[in-house]
Each structure stands twice: as structure tokens, then as C-alpha cells.
Amino acid sequence: MPARRIIACLDVKGGRVVKGVRFEGHTDAGDPAELALRYRDEGADEIVIYDIAASAEGRTIDYAWLARVARVLDVPLCVAGGIRTLEQAIACLEHGADKVSINSPALERPEFITELANVAGSQCVVLGVDSRSENGEWSIYQYTGDVNTIRRTSRHTLDWIVEAQERGAGEIVLNCMDKDGTRDGYDIAQLAAARKLLSIPLIASGGAGAARHFPEVFAGADVSGALAASIFHFNKVSIGEAKLATRAGGFEVRT
């Protein structure tokens, strides 16, 4: 299997990186450009930048700002934030993004996944999935960037990721909301259930709190990559430490 990826995530709101717990109570974590450069230097395999308020506010990301950040990075960059049209997605790619991640707009119009894959290629299309356990099943949420707009949809998580794969998504980032910001480990049960249904890469998101959590999720759910935010932002664990633990657990990582 290809080397496992350690991915740094920057949730941006109002021009600043923020982090909460279970998608609520956001606190300031720093400047996004400075953090992106720091993670580049630490050896991140990929950097993800989410403008978490864009969909709820009916806008998309700032292309000029994206270009400035992309210009100084030499690792893959994925961006998300209110990308609702092919024109917006292509503009992100033209301004330096390597991938675009879509979430709420894909839930509103699932055929957007196919349209984007046909134009940009599936390798550029990432589906972000915000999932929470409700009454014994995993359900999809949208507009999760603001506590005032977040809402549950009628879709079930496992059904939605299968549909997205069939529609042309090249990668799934499964954000396990009940684990977000808790730092008590990834939701291995949910991720393992998703992995069984997918042939495309699956990225774990939500719950990283210690270096050991990275090899644990690779072993328990066979994910392609593990994404983390707050433990990197607040220097609880470095990307280097996450990679050392992953390698010690028997998994290949890029040096």
C-alpha cells in the first residue's frame, strides 16, 4: 500500500485559524499562512485549508489569498469553502490548489460531484463528510462551520459515501463530529465501516490527541491518511512525532 499520509488541517474563519470541540466553541489558533508554512517545514504530506463559514455565508474562498499561500508551499494543498460551481472549483485549481473539497454544495446537488470529476479529474475531487451518531446510526450534517447554521440532513453516512464514490469522488474525508477536538482518538469503528465500502482513499478526521492515535487508526481502519488540527496548532504533537509513531507501528510514511 502507498505510504500513509499525515495531513495538517487549518479551519479558517474570519481570516484566522480556529478550532473548537465537536464543531462548537471556536478559539483562535493563529495565522493560516504562518501555520501552513510551519507544517510544510515539519514534513506534512498534505495541507488542507477549510474556510468553514463560506457555505453558510453564501460565498467562496478568496482566490488572491489562496494564490499567496499556494505560491510558498511545495506540498499538496486541498481547499474547501463554499465551492458551488465548476467555475469556482477551477478557479481554486488555477490559483494553486491541487484538490478541491466539497461538502454542503454536494449534498444540495449530488450531480456536482460528477460534473467536477469530468472536468478536473477524480483525483482533484475530495468529498468532505461531517458525520455524527444519531439513534444508533451515522447521519450527515451540513453547514457545520457555525453553530447557528449546522443542521442534520436526511442522509445516512455510509449510503452517502458510496453514492459519492459512484459519482466520481476521488477521496473521502470522514469528519467524525463526535470525536472532533476531543483528543481521545479517532472513531475507528465508523472509519472501519466506511473503509469496507470504499475503493478510493479514505482520510480519518476528528479525535487525534496523541502520537499513538495515528498508527492506531491506520491499523484499526486501514485509512490512507490521518488528518489533525488542534494537536498540531497547539504543539501537543508535532508532525514529525506523528510520523515516527506511525513508522514504529509498522506503516510506511514519507520522510
Chain mean position to CA 86: 20
In angstroms, the CA 188 to CA 177 distance is: 13
In angstroms, the CA 162 to CA 116 distance is: 17
Catalytic residue, chosen from 51, 130, 180, 187, is: 130
Do 201 and 172 meet the contact criterion of CB atoms below 8 Å apart? yes
Catalytic residue, chosen from 11, 45, 51, 180, is: 11
DSSP annotation of 110: T
Surface-to-core class of residue 31, CB atoms within 10 Å of its CB (0-12 exposed, 13-18 middle, 19+ buried) = middle
Do 68 and 79 meet the contact criterion of CB atoms below 8 Å apart? no
Dihedral sign for Cα 143, 145, 150, 156, please.
Answer: positive
Is 45 a known active-site residue? no
Angle at 213 between CA 51 and CA 52, to 5 degrees: 10
Cite the DSSP H helix spans in 54-110: 54-57, 63-71, 86-94, 104-108
Is 130 a known active-site residue? yes
What residues are annotated to the active site? 11, 130
